[in-house]
Structure 1
Amino acid sequence: MSVAENIKLIENEITGKGVTLVAVSKTKPVDALMQAYNAGFKRFGENYVQELADKYEQMPKDIEWHFIGHLQSNKVKYIAPFVSLIHSVDSFKLLQEINKQAAKYNRVINCLLQIYIAEEDTKSGMTEAECSEILDSEALKTLLNVNITGLMGMSTFTDDEQQVRKEFRKLKSFQASLLSAHPYLQTISMGMSGDYPIAIEEGSTMIRVGSRIFGNRIYPA
């Protein structure tokens, strides 16, 4: 099956469910992304700043680029001119830097706050308490060049579907608890190639799918 056919299959699967597909293209060559682009798909997610910046330079400029990996403050400047959505904001300090860099280009950058929901140390994110503190802070109101649109979470890497479901449900429940005070938190980015059907059942509005579209990742030796 081609890249375009894989995307079509997933899009047919999620039609009518209020879910947006992000094709995770990290480590994939530009020609693989162009197969998707030429079939009409223009929403890609990348994990590495340099790779994202390189692909942005090489590809058409009507693409919606999502940054989904761990983002260091000193790297924000490289993606600030063009990134559409940053999924992985895990601190107020990072939010401040995104705001600072976005202001240089007279842009407002959409962001998701990444919440730690997994039961493993390799995943990052803020606690629910830290998230609430940011959302309720006066300092947030001074950041005019960022727009928080929702939450993101990554489940534990496990075959235990019940655990994954529990973690997604926890994030959905937290989002629901915030909506009355913060009605703009509409996006929940959760679910990847191995678990997006569960994520959708538990309330995800955005899934990040890589290997189901492009095949297994190729890492340099």
Structure 2
Amino acid sequence: MSISEKLQQIVKTLPPGVTLVAVSKTKSEDDIMKAYTAGQRVFGENKVQELVGKWEVLPKDIQWHMIGHLQRNKVKYIAGFVTLIHGVDSLRLLREINKRAAQADRIQDCLLQVHIASESTKFGFDQAEIAEAMEIIKAKQLPNIRVRGLMGMATFTEDQAQVRGEFRFLKSLFDALGKGDETFNILSMGMSGDYLLAIEEGSTMVRLGSSIFGSRNTP
């Protein structure tokens, strides 16, 4: 099945209000253009160098999302163009993004990453840290950042009940933190293996790579 056909099949499974991020990390510009020609405009990358290289040569109406772990010293390379940064996992990173967005004279949309999985290797704020970050945001101490919502990655497990519980916890936190804020409206959770479950639990944005492009290429 072609990339275009896979994409069309997936789009049919998405209810209104759910955005598809096509995860194009390690994929060629040709593969991205096949998805683009089929109508996809939102793509996600997890490495800054690869993201910048693709942004430079591919159509400018593509919305690029940084979905991987972002190091503070790499923010400056994407601050001028990236549409949404998913994996903001510390106050230090938030402050660096604010600084670089101010230099680029733009407001940077971000998602705060919450650690919901049982694996300690995954990144993210815990509940106390995210509450502190939101207080700083609401106090307008970081004027060049707009926090649009939350992002989380569930445990890599066959236990659907555990995954559902993690997604449900993230949705409850999202509802509590976003109360009264109409711009706090993105809940990014769900990947190729669990996105339908994530949507059932309230996800508004899913990040799918292998189900569109096939298995990941080795960089």
Matches within 5 A, 1:170-185: 170-180=169-179, 182-185=181-184
Q: Is 2:4 the counterpart of 1:4?
A: yes
Is the 8 Å Cα contact of residues 20 and 207 (structure 1) preserved in structure 2? yes
Is the 8 Å Cα contact of residues 134 and 140 (structure 1) preserved in structure 2? no
Whichever residue aligns with residue 194 of structure 2, its letter is D
Identity %: 57
Structure 1 unmatched runs, 5+ = none
Q: What is the aligned partner in structure 2 of residue 36 from structure 1?
A: 35
RMSD between aligned residues: 1.3
Q: What is the aligned partner in structure 1 of residue 84 from structure 2?
A: 85
Q: What is the aligned partner in structure 2 of residue 142 from structure 1?
A: 141
Structure 1 residues 62 and 130, CA gap change in structure 2 (3 angstroms): same
Structure 2 unmatched runs, 5+ = none
Structure 1 residue 179, shift from structure 2 partner = 2.7
CA distance in 1: counterparts of 2:139 and 2:43, whole angstroms: 28
Matches within 5 A, 1:48-87: 48-87=47-86
Whichever residue aligns with residue 111 of structure 1, its letter is C
Q: What is the aligned partner in structure 2 of residue 166 from structure 1?
A: 165
1:58-116 Cα distance to aligned partner (Å, 9 max, x none): 11111100000000000001111110000000011111111111111111110000000
CA distance in 1: counterparts of 2:52 and 2:73, whole angstroms: 14
Q: What is the aligned partner in structure 2 of residue 26 from structure 1?
A: 25
CA distance in 1: counterparts of 2:75 and 2:159, whole angstroms: 35
Q: What is the aligned partner in structure 1 of residue 216 from structure 2?
A: 217
Is the 8 Å Cα contact of residues 88 and 125 (structure 1) preserved in structure 2? yes
1:199-219 Cα distance to aligned partner (Å, 9 max, x none): 000000000000000000011
Structure 1 residue 185, shift from structure 2 partner = 2.1
Whichever residue aligns with residue 25 of structure 1, its letter is S
CA distance in 2: counterparts of 1:138 and 1:158, whole angstroms: 34
For the residue of structure 1 that corresponds to 2:136, the secondary structure is coil
CA distance in 2: counterparts of 1:69 and 1:140, whole angstroms: 27
Whichever residue aligns with residue 38 of structure 1, its letter is T
Q: Is 2:186 the counterpart of 1:187?
A: yes
Is the 8 Å Cα contact of residues 72 and 96 (structure 2) preserved in structure 1? yes
TM-score by length of 2: 0.96
Q: What is the aligned partner in structure 2 of residue 125 from structure 1?
A: 124
Is the 8 Å Cα contact of residues 136 and 142 (structure 2) preserved in structure 1? no
Whichever residue aligns with residue 217 of structure 1, its letter is R
1:168-216 Cα distance to aligned partner (Å, 9 max, x none): 0000011112232545321100000000000000000000000000000
CA distance in 2: counterparts of 1:135 and 1:15, whole angstroms: 29
CA distance in 2: counterparts of 1:200 and 1:15, whole angstroms: 8
Whichever residue aligns with residue 3 of structure 2, its letter is V
Whichever residue aligns with residue 188 of structure 1, its letter is L
TM-score by length of 1: 0.95
* Corresponding pairs, count: 219
Is the 8 Å Cα contact of residues 150 and 185 (structure 1) preserved in structure 2? yes
CA distance in 2: counterparts of 1:104 and 1:142, whole angstroms: 16
For the residue of structure 1 that corresponds to 2:6, the secondary structure is helix
Q: Is 2:156 the counterpart of 1:157?
A: yes
